[in-house]
Amino acid sequence: MANVVVVGAQWGDEGKGKIVDWLSERADVIARFQGGHNAGHTLVVNGVIYKLNALPSGVVRGGKLSVIGNGVVLDPWHLLNEIKKIGEQGVEITPDNLMVAENTPLIMPFHGELDRAREAQAAGSNARIGTTGRGIGPCYEDKVGRRVIRVADLADPATLEQRVDRALVHHNALRAGLGLEPIDRAALLKELNAISAAVLQYAKPVWKVMNEMRRAGKRILFEGAQGSLLDIDFGTYPYVTSSNVIAGQAATGVGLGPNAIDFVLGIVKAYTTRVGAGPFPTELLDADGDRLGERGREFGTVTGRKRRCGWFDAALVRQTCAISGINGIALTKLDVLDGFDTIKICTGYSLDGEVLDYLPTAAEAQARCTPIYEEVEGWKESTEGARSWNDLPGAAVKYVRRIEELIQCPVAMLSTSPERDDTILVTDPFAD
């Protein structure tokens, strides 16, 4: 059976939640492999809206195993609250359908405090990254610094105290420099002990279970968060997230070998958006940009921040397709482009008189890149809710085909509304 990785191929917010939900009906296991609860996935199922941050999108589907892998950083308090909230919508989460890797790093309250203090200190300067302030980055820093608290540590009070003490030596020094009060050790340990049993009921050796599932021929769907252009190595650094977002992380993030990946599906909007600071070559600061934002309802699921909008950047998506080894893309929100007389596609950049077909690595050079546009015909007819190629206007089909040519990757799926069934399947990612 084929195993599929779903990754965002732009700056996130591409519509991964709907596509993962659509695919999860055919999967046996849905696994989150990186990121944290800074990722917002909105699912619309039978008219019911589910908003998830920490939980894999598969939890809304009965009979599936959802997995939070070791590549994720997990806020345990947020997890328990999200389980409770989604339970109030009629979705039952139990240790039978949710599994958390024992070696998953835990986000502590002081991680979020540090995150927000740093952003506040950098306010009004180019040093501000534009994080969600939820402690994702500081937790990944502690993981690399070997001072993070992991899920398994909750099971042993003595080990937990040692982990907390090691973290506090580092963080109290940082807090002093930022003008924050020292961390209350006793209060933190009390909070952790209070939730330990609730969290530990989901703890498992994920690497072992996932390998057993694979050997048994189960279909695994790897669910990525954020987007490839926010990857810590290949994104628009330093305006990136703190984890590897690209497809190669899927195996490492759950404890499988790279040969477990059979198909990589990249999620791509029919235009481009970005939240927060950083370069954005095709950004539109005009009526067309406002129109895209209004029609696409471009506000962040997690923060509510208005997203920056621009034309489709084929040069960037071609780049992310290559880095993640994307086999096919799922093109979303085509309907947002309905009604435009003409539509522009970025095919490359001009930098100091030189034409580039990729975005350079240096931040200073990225900021000075000017997009080179190709103009294509728009369409007046509605594409919303289309479920076959025959339902699409001819100009819309031409637009999709031109994108395929420019990014050098075929369209495997086409989404025409937030409803899961409004999807045109071209290539089945799960086909062997």
Q: Report the CATH number that the domain containing residue 52 is assigned in CATH.
A: 3.40.440.10
CA angle 225, 228, 230 (to 5 degrees): 85
Q: Let me know whether 146 and 244 are in one domain.
A: no
Q: Let me know whether 294 and 412 are in one domain.
A: yes
Q: Let me know whether 160 and 174 are in one domain.
A: yes
95: left (phi over 0), alpha (psi -120 to 50) or beta: alpha
Would you say residue 235 lies in a domain? yes
Q: In the listed set 247, 263, 279, which residue is the last one of a domain according to the structure?
A: 263
Q: Let me know whether 292 and 167 are in one domain.
A: no
Q: In the listed set 200, 219, 253, which residue is the last one of a domain according to the structure?
A: 200
**78 annotated ligand-binding residue:** no
Residue 338's identity, in one-letter code, is D
Q: Let me know whether 275 and 394 are in one domain.
A: yes
Task: Please state, as a whole number, how many other Cβ atoms lie within 10 Å of the Cβ of residue 193.
Answer: 12
Would you say residue 431 lies in a domain? no
Provide the CATH number for the domain around residue 115.
1.10.300.10
Give the relative orientation of helices 394-407 and 314-324 as an angle to the nearest 10 degrees: 50
Provide the CATH number for the domain around residue 329.
3.90.170.10
Provide the edge-to-edge strand list for the sheet that holds 423-425.
203-204, 98-101, 65-68, 29-32, 220-223, 4-8, 263-269, 328-332, 411-415, 423-425
Task: Please state, as a whole number, how many other Cβ atoms lie within 10 Å of the Cβ of residue 161.
Answer: 14
Contacts with 63 (C-beta within 8 Å, 6 or more apart), sequence order: none
**18 annotated ligand-binding residue:** yes
Tokens describing residue 183: 């961390």
Q: Let me know whether 57 and 190 are in one domain.
A: no
**14 annotated ligand-binding residue:** yes
**172 annotated ligand-binding residue:** no
Cβ-contact 58, 221 below 8 angstroms? yes
Contacts with 243 (C-beta within 8 Å, 6 or more apart), sequence order: 34, 35, 71, 73, 136, 140, 226, 231, 232, 249
If we measure between CA atoms, which residue out of 324, 331, 319, 315 comes closest to residue 410? 331
Would you say residue 430 lies in a domain? no
Catalytic residue numbers read 13, 41, 143
Give the relative orientation of helices 109-121 and 157-178 as an angle to the nearest 10 degrees: 10
The residues with which 98 forms a beta bridge, in sequence order, are 66
Convert the chain into a string of H (helix), E (strand) and C (coil).
CCCEEEEECCCCCCCHHHHHHHHHCCCCEEEECCECCCCCEEEEECCEEEEECCCCHHHHCCCCEEEECCCECECHHHHHHHHHHHHCCCCCCCCCCEEEECCCEECCHHHHHHHHHHHHHCCCCCCCCCCCCCCHHHHHHHHHCCCCCEHHHHHCHHHHHHHHHHHHHHHHHHHHHHCCCCCCHHHHHHHHHHHHHHHHCCEECHHHHHHHHHHCCCCEEEECCCCHHHCCCCCCCCCCCCCCCCCCHHHHCCCCCHHHCCEEEEEEECCEEECCCCCCCCECCCHHHHHHHHHCCCECCCCCCECEEECEEHHHHHHHHHHHCCCEEEEECHHHHCCCCEEEEEEEEEECCEEECCCCCCHHHHHHCEEEEEEEECCCCCCCCCCCHHHCCHHHHHHHHHHHHHHCCCEEEEECCCCCCCEEECCCCCCC
Looking at the structure of the chain, the number of domains it has is 3
Q: Let me know whether 405 and 327 are in one domain.
A: yes
The residues with which 32 forms a beta bridge, in sequence order, are 68, 223
Domain of 256, in residue numbers? 4-101+203-263
Q: Let me know whether 32 and 134 are in one domain.
A: no
Q: Let me know whether 188 and 143 are in one domain.
A: yes
If we measure between CA atoms, which residue out of 329, 348, 340 comes closest to residue 401? 329
Q: Let me know whether 351 and 383 are in one domain.
A: yes
Q: In degrees to the nearest 10, what's the CA dihedral of 244, 250, 254, 257?
A: -120
> What are φ and ψ of residue 190, in 5° steps?
-65, -45
pLDDT tens sequence for the chain (432 residues): 589 999 999 999 898 878 888 888 899 999 999 999 877 777 777 778 888 889 998 888 888 999 999 999 999 999 999 999 999 999 999 999 999 999 999 999 999 999 999 888 876 666 666 677 899 999 999 999 999 999 999 999 999 999 999 999 999 999 999 999 999 999 999 999 999 999 999 999 999 999 999 999 999 999 998 899 999 999 999 999 999 999 999 999 999 999 999 999 999 999 999 988 899 999 999 999 999 999 998 976 555 678 999 999 999 999 999 999 999 999 999 999 999 999 999 999 999 999 999 999 999 999 999 999 999 999 999 999 999 999 999 999 999 999 999 999 999 999 988 777 888 999 999 986
pLDDT of res. 303: 59
Question: If you search the block for the tokens 């039952």, which residue do you land on?
Answer: 92
Would you say residue 90 lies in a domain? yes
Would you say residue 11 lies in a domain? yes
Question: Would you say how long the chain is, in residues?
Answer: 432
**38 annotated ligand-binding residue:** yes
Q: In the listed set 153, 171, 200, which residue is the last one of a domain according to the structure?
A: 200
**16 annotated ligand-binding residue:** yes
Q: Let me know whether 132 and 147 are in one domain.
A: yes
Would you say residue 432 lies in a domain? no
d(CA 283, CA 287): 12
**15 annotated ligand-binding residue:** yes
d(CA 284, CA 276): 15
- Omega before 360 within 30 of 0, i.e. cis: no
Q: Let me know whether 82 and 183 are in one domain.
A: no
Q: In degrees to the nearest 10, what's the CA dihedral of 232, 235, 241, 246?
A: -70
